[in-house]
Amino acid sequence: MHMKIDPLRHNHLARVMMEASTAAIILSNTRGIIEAINHVAESWFGYKEKELVSQKIDLILEMEITSDDASHTSCRLAQSSDSERRQPILGRGRRRDGSSFLAQTTQYPLTSDWGETRWLNLVDVYRDPTGEEGAEGGPSGVDHLIEGERLAAVLQMATGLAHESSNALQRAQSCLDLLRLDLTHQGELLELTDQIKTALNDLHRNHEEVKRYAAPIVLKRSRVNPVLLCQAKFDELVPSISDERSPVRLAVDVRHGRCLESSEDCEWDSDCSVQLDANRIGEVLRRVLENAIHASPPGGQIDFRCDCSPPAETLSADWKSSETSPILLRVRDHGSGLTEEVQHRMFEPFFTTKQRGAGLGLSVCRRIVKAHGGTMEAANHPDGGTVVQIILPR
């Protein structure tokens, strides 16, 4: 018997991604009936989700009408082609208190496994070419819309994953382990099962990476020294991915503190410690260091710099105007550097130059840094190699 899986209502991953979006999301069917909204839409329009479910979408969203015969938004939903729905539609959002704002809506089709279509309406406050917003004090901006669209793209993909996909992978893994017991003395067949196991592990890793990207980031802060954290992550990585005969070395440079050759001999200024989530920032440093090790030649060096009181000229205008001095972390390899495309797209979801992985690692890292109130950038170093810069507030 074929079980129907609703693309959102019974898909926890998809629902989590709706809530992770910084833009308002409204899920409707092809008749323009609202089926779900996220918390951003609740705050923008002034309604609770339960109040809008089963209501027509034009109660809160009036889209631009291009046909004389189309008198309702639901008609536009039914008549527009797929290509039209991918283009932002200018209209008005109507709040519960009667006020309204200019809004632009981008629609994405979500098709269930039995062919039923729903529409994900990604709404953002319209900003005209002069920079004026469509609503006073409304949460707007190009960054919000871009991030929302990226999450919507992930959401489209997630609707194609059954909510029990993790269990299915585990069942396949168990069956494979049982099969191997019957093939103990058949070397060629065992080699094939090893290849299948590797493929299943890749699928599981990609699935977990998507879940990490989609999940809301909740920080558990404690006072942590980022230099010691970086050294610990480097020591974990080197034995597994660096050349044993010519291992990559980590050179630590601490500004506003004194450090000798090894971390055990360092005398750290107390100002180098920061209130942050050690597990989350450790994940960021591990990813950055892993990329740096892969980019480094055998026996190469990775430079890690911690600037506890960075000079003003190294900071953007936003950081310069901050009441407290931030802390600056830099990881530089001495590899071949970044191509123009990679430099431009490396933080985009699903962009990767590797054969394995979903291409979400650096996207997750930037989200973690942003959740701390910081920034993360990468560029080619003038003297060669790549430098990743992370700035965190004190």
Q: Over the stretch 286-306, which tens digit does the pLDDT of each residue have?
A: 999 999 999 999 889 999 999
**H or E segment at 84?**
helix 82-85
Q: CB–CB of 41/123 below 8 Å?
A: yes
The model's confidence at residue 179, banded by pLDDT at 50, 70 and 90, is confident
Q: What are phi and psi of 296, to 5 degrees?
A: -85, 145
Give the C-alpha separation, 322 to 319, whole Å. Answer: 5
Return the minimum-mean-pLDDT range out of 91-105, 110-124, 332-346. 110-124
According to DSSP, the β-strands at 249-255 and 301-307 are parallel
Cα dist from 293 to 30, 73, 338, 372, 380, whole Å? 50, 53, 14, 26, 16
Q: Which pTM was predicted?
A: 0.55
In this prediction, residues 356-375 reach a mean pLDDT of 84
Which pLDDT tens digit goes with each residue over 234-273? 999 988 887 777 789 999 998 864 443 344 445 444 457 8
Q: Please state, rounded to an integer, the average pLDDT across all residues of the chain.
A: 76
Which pLDDT tens digit goes with each residue over 307-346? 887 877 777 777 776 767 788 999 999 999 999 888 888 8
Let me know the angle formed at the C-alpha of 237 by 235 and 243, rounded to the nearest 5 degrees.
100
User: Which two tokens mark 5?
Assistant: 């899986």
Q: Which of 318, 303, 325 is CA-nearest to residue 389?
A: 303
